[in-house]
Amino acid sequence: MYAAHFNLALTPFSLTPDTRFYVGLPQHEAALAVLNTALAAGEGFIKVTGEVGTGKTLLCRLLLKQAQADWQLAYLPDPSVSPLELRWALAAELGLKYSANIDASQLLQLLQRQLILLAQSGKKIILVIDEAQGLPDDTLESLRLLTNLETEQRKLLQVVLFGQPELDQRLASQQFRQLRQRISFSYVLPVMSPAQIRFYVRHRLQVAGATPALFNSFALLAIGRYSRGIPRLVNLLAHKGLMLAYGEGKSRVTARHIRFAAEDTEDTRRSKRHYVWLLSGAAVFSAACVGWMWR
């Protein structure tokens, strides 16, 4: 909509986790390093958790895109499946054909044979699960049983879990202690610092072919405040800011545009209200202090 007005080749702040816009922030680079190290070491379970909108699906896509020649990847984007459906999903990714006549234990044997064949041809088989906080309890437990498949030398299946903090809460329960002990590598994605937000916005603008000065520095400060460092909220605010500036025929996005954008954005209102509460709390406190001094 505003692309021609701002001379943009691409939309800079779309919500899709598009790897062309990847910004190599230290936290995302560290997560990728953990994943690569753990996968190279043949670890059974690796876990990356982070708040909603912090870039897990983007990392997942980067991992799939940067797959090494000896990796055979199986990707499960929607984990709300039963243990049997999980096995069939993995079987399909490994090239096995569905048959209604095969029961759960026969399927496990077939899977084991296929995993051994692939391992013999020099492949590392990696199951990548996004939104892992949504795995039903019995499916989560059945994953552990799948990673029990191993030769004398190594695991036949490695599992990478990407999930929201609820995944850690569930794994903390007594019921999952066996699975928890098998997760030898994990990483928690932090939110972005104010300096990282500035870098992030400017980098995405550059990829889209815009001048990095399209947002003035007060607009960047406002994005930092309302987004709380969460990349998806940064994208939302920046996109709405561009729309508002375009609507007014302006060539730059200012803090006023971001303020309006925040008022119109669900998850950023709370921080604004929080700010108002803080200010009114401070006012009441100062009034009380002044009153006490004059007693």
Site for ligand ATP, rule CB under 6 A = 15-18, 21-23, 25, 28, 50, 52-58, 164, 231-232, 235
Q: Which does 262 bind (CB under 5 to 8 A by kind): Mg ion, ligand ATP, none?
A: none
Give me the least distance between CB of 27 and ligand ATP, in Å please.
8
The entry of ligand ATP, Mg ion, none near residue 55 (CB within 5 to 8 angstroms by kind) is ligand ATP
Between CA 265 and CA 257 the distance in angstroms is 12
Site residues for Mg ion, 160-179, by CB under 5 A, read none
Min. distance of Cβ 61 from Mg ion in angstroms? 10
Q: Measured from the CB atom, is 111 or 236 closer to Mg ion?
A: 236
How far is Cα 234 from Cα 226, in angstroms, rounded to an integer? Answer: 8
53 contacts which partner out of Mg ion, ligand ATP, none, CB within 5 to 8 A by kind? Answer: ligand ATP
How many residues make contact with Mg ion (CB under 5 A)? 2
Site for Mg ion in 17-56 (CB under 5 A): 56
Binding of Mg ion by 186 (CB under 5 A): no
List contacts with Mg ion (CB under 5 A): 56-57
